[in-house]
């Protein structure tokens, strides 16, 4: 591995300026390449975008750092000459976390003082937000990607811009599927840190020892296998927002480290005697009852006090009756466009079932139901037989006030198939039934079952594992 260069800028001020920290101040990914398209140097924004450290990639061909579709489909670098202007194009890259990210890449030649071509300057901008803003339909009753016109949501829209502008930690609570992740993103985008990174970590996804190094980083040699130092997510979120989801699953020892950060704004990477100051805003989220966890000594009371400075509670969908129809129409339009279907609307009967259903899985469940129905439906109207079977076996207590008296007399039982169960099922049981229904329908073919559910294959695999459904 080549040593990373530490060049200086002279002539700009009275004393030399170190080039690397200067480059790190640029908020978009910048990479300097040699004439043979190998990495010379790249800035911190590029480290964050790709997930790779510059120490490791010095001297490596650029295509293995960026991993963009253009690298393979026709790299424009060889055609860029010393007198070429900037070449800009949209592409996608796959980062270290295996995420595909849309980017805009701009390439320019680097020439020395005699005009000789010595390398390339590559600027890479993450255009995810731009793409989302362009493709989002302009709607009333929305705030970012959050949709709703109920009083609770209107109140949220009023306070989020004010809260976003402060740097206080935020705790978002709410049942699963209520939109906590979306709200965290909206808060970041509304804040003065919007141009900085938004880094998400699921505290429940990793075992404690891996989570510690993931969050705080580690020094080379800190443990077996630590062959190089690595920055943690706190460092990567510098000048931005760190979103800790499932904060209730954070192990107690790491709760102490988080508390240290909230108090002193410093972090201690694993195995490092030095501490580091980072400028990060914390947004945390949980569906658990943290007060109960404090009583059970599973969550630190002092940490809850620090996180509770600003608390946003997302209401469950059953308390936002006004929003159900809005969400149904929104997701219908989205999936019809995405799957290129010619569906225009829900039938009255299908709508009756959908408006009466209590959605224990909240917005995520509603979205999954619409996605499933759009996938199944081959007509121009979604009928009740296009809806997931479990909707008809769930007890509904979610009556739509807008239905007239005659319709009120109709019971959802009229849609129940003969001999159907009428027990009140919880979300997990219903989701499990939905998966089994889809597998039966697909005759055991998991790829087809995933398509019925509107899920990726990996999502189906994860859910089957979660519910212990044997493959």
Partner 1 sequence: MPKKILIPLYKDSLAPRFDLATEVLIGLVGESHNVEEKRVVVLPEASPEEVCNLIFTEGIDVVICCAIEKEYYDYLVWKKIQVFDSVVGSVDRVLRAFEKGELSSGDIIMDY
When the beta carbons of 27 and 51 are compared against partner 1, the nearer one is 51
* Cross-strand pairs, 91: 103
CA distance 396 to 412: 8
At its nearest, how many Å lie between partner 1 and the CB of residue 456? Answer: 5
When the beta carbons of 115 and 447 are compared against partner 1, the nearer one is 447
When the beta carbons of 168 and 338 are compared against partner 1, the nearer one is 338
Site residues (vs partner 1, CB under 8 A)? 1-2, 56-57, 59-60, 63-64, 67-69, 71-73, 93-94, 96-100, 456-458, 461-462
288 burial type by CB count under 10 A (0-12 exposed, 13-18 middle, 19+ buried) = middle
When the beta carbons of 10 and 458 are compared against partner 1, the nearer one is 458
When the beta carbons of 96 and 192 are compared against partner 1, the nearer one is 96
CA distance 436 to 422: 18
At its nearest, how many Å lie between partner 1 and the CB of residue 40? Answer: 12
Is 264 within 8 Å of 250 (Cβ atoms)? no
At its nearest, how many Å lie between partner 1 and the CB of residue 201? Answer: 16
- Cα of first residue to Cα of last residue in the chain, in angstroms, is 44
Copy the structure tokens of residue 66.
Answer: 């960026």
Interacting residues of 457 by C-beta distance below 8 A, sequence separation 6+: 446, 447, 450
284 sits in the region (left: phi over 0; alpha: psi -120 to 50; else beta) called: beta
At its nearest, how many Å lie between partner 1 and the CB of residue 67? Answer: 4
When the beta carbons of 63 and 262 are compared against partner 1, the nearer one is 63
Instruction: From residue 144, give the alpha-carbon distance in Å to each of 182, 209, 275.
Output: 8, 36, 37
* Cross-strand pairs, 202: 245
Is 243 within 8 Å of 198 (Cβ atoms)? yes
When the beta carbons of 57 and 198 are compared against partner 1, the nearer one is 57
> Phi and psi dihedrals of 333, rounded to 5?
-60, -40
At its nearest, how many Å lie between partner 1 and the CB of residue 59? Answer: 4
Copy the structure tokens of residue 356.
Answer: 């009466």
When the beta carbons of 21 and 456 are compared against partner 1, the nearer one is 456
CA distance 166 to 187: 10
At its nearest, how many Å lie between partner 1 and the CB of residue 471? Answer: 8
> Phi and psi dihedrals of 230, rounded to 5?
-145, 135
At its nearest, how many Å lie between partner 1 and the CB of residue 62? Answer: 10
**Tokens 């670098």 — which residue?**
77
At its nearest, how many Å lie between partner 1 and the CB of residue 96? Answer: 6
At its nearest, how many Å lie between partner 1 and the CB of residue 218? Answer: 15
CA distance 187 to 160: 7
When the beta carbons of 236 and 317 are compared against partner 1, the nearer one is 236
Copy the structure tokens of residue 362.
Answer: 């909240």
- DSSP H helices in 191-320: 208-216, 233-236, 252-264, 290-295, 301-307
When the beta carbons of 136 and 228 are compared against partner 1, the nearer one is 228
At its nearest, how many Å lie between partner 1 and the CB of residue 465? Answer: 8
CA distance 387 to 374: 9
At its nearest, how many Å lie between partner 1 and the CB of residue 313? Answer: 31
When the beta carbons of 181 and 329 are compared against partner 1, the nearer one is 181
Copy the structure tokens of residue 286.
Answer: 């949980």
Is 170 within 8 Å of 215 (Cβ atoms)? no
- DSSP H helices in 75-201: 128-135, 151-165, 180-190
């Amino acid at each position: 591995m080549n040593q990373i260069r530490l060049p200086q800028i002279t002539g700009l001020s009275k004393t030399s300026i170190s080039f690397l920290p200067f480059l790190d101040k640029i908020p978009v990914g910048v990479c300097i390449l040699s004439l043979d398209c190998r990495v010379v140097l790249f800035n911190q924004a590029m480290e964050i975008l790709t997930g790779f450290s510059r120490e490791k990639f010095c001297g490596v061909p650029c295509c293995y750092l960026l991993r963009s579709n253009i690298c393979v489909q026709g790299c424009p670098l060889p055609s860029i000459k010393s007198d070429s202007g900037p070449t800009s194009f949209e592409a996608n890259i796959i980062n270290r976390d295996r995420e595909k990210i849309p980017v805009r890449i701009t390439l320019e030649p680097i020439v020395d003082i005699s005009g000789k071509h010595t390398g390339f300057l590559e600027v890479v901008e993450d255009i995810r937000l731009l793409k989302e803003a362009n493709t989002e339909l302009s709607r009333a009753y929305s705030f970012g990607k959050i949709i709703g016109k109920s009083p609770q949501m209107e109140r949220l829209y009023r306070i989020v811009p004010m809260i976003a502008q402060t740097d206080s930690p935020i705790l978002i609570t709410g049942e699963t599927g209520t939109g906590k992740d979306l709200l965290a993103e909206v808060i970041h985008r509304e804040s003065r840190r919007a141009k900085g990174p938004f880094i998400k970590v699921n505290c429940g996804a990793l075992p404690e020892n891996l989570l510690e190094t993931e969050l705080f980083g580690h020094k080379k040699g800190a443990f077996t296998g630590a062959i190089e130092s690595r920055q943690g997510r706190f460092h990567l979120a510098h000048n931005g927002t760190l979103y800790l989801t499932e904060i209730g699953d954070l192990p107690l020892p790491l709760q102490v480290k988080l508390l240290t950060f909230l108090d002193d704004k410093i972090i201690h990477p694993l195995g490092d005697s030095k501490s580091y100051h980072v400028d990060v805003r914390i947004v945390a989220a949980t569906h658990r009852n943290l007060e109960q966890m404090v009583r059970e000594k599973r969550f630190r009371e002092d940490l809850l006090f620090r996180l509770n400075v600003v608390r946003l509670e997302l209401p469950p969908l059953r308390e936002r009756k006004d929003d159900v129809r809005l969400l149904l129409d929104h997701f219908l339009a989205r999936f019809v466009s995405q799957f290129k279907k010619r569906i225009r609307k829900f039938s009255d009967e299908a709508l009756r079932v959908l408006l009466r259903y209590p959605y224990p899985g909240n917005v995520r469940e509603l979205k999954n139901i619409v996605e499933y129905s759009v996938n199944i439906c081959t007509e121009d109207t979604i009928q009740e037989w296009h809806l997931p079977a479990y909707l008809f076996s769930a007890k509904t207590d979610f009556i739509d006030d807008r239905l007239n008296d005659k319709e009120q007399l109709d019971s959802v039982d009229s849609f129940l198939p003969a001999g159907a169960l009428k027990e009140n099922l919880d979300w997990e049981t219903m989701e499990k039934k939905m998966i089994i229904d889809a597998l039966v329908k697909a005759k055991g073919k998991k790829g087809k079952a995933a398509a019925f559910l509107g899920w990726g294959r990996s999502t189906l695999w994860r859910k089957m594992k979660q519910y212990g459904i044997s493959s």
